[in-house]
Amino acid sequence: MGSLAHIAPTKRLLAKDIQRLEDTCIRFSVGNSEALLACAQAKSSLVERIKATQYEDERLCKYRDGVLTGKSKDMIVESDGFLRMGDRLCVADVDGLRHAILEEAHNSKYTIHPGSTKMYHAKSNFIGGKVKAEHRRPAGLLQQIEIPE
């Protein structure tokens, strides 16, 4: 981006932020408006790498052929050319692509935890609802305890 000396001091902080983002490989589109930044768009390059390598992996090519011939019901080929299983992209194991995806997911400053497989739900129960069913007995089988006087 170059030197920031020609930028007004009020816009220097914004320019420094833009420069930091460009250093992390985020590309910008600037429109013709008077604003310094009209549109910012960040897009991962991994999606394009996944699409390109789907045709290189023999196993994924077999799956793609199965989808196109109608043999595979689980997978689909979308209009943009991506092979998917449900809502997930099929990733080829070519050129360390899977490792790159895992590394970006775990080490990137812009990602958060991808989710949890377990859901915990707190239910409000009555006292009687907390007793396990096998420990409950119908009231007719209980006997009164005699209290000595």
Boundaries of every domain in the chain: 1-43, 45-111
The region, left, alpha or beta by phi > 0 then psi within -120 to 50, assigned to residue 16 is: alpha
pTM of the model: 0.44
pLDDT at 105: 76
Is pLDDT larger for residue 7 or for residue 11?
Answer: 11
Dist. CA 74–CA 85, nearest whole Å:
6
**Above 70 in pLDDT, residue 66?**
yes
Mean pLDDT of 108-121: 59
Do 111 and 104 touch, CB atoms closer than 8 A?
A: yes
Q: Exposed, middle or buried, 135 (CB in 10 Å: 0-12/13-18/19+)?
A: exposed
**Above 60 in pLDDT, residue 114?**
no
pLDDT at 38: 44
For 125-149, the pLDDT digits (tens) are 555 555 566 666 666 666 777 888 8
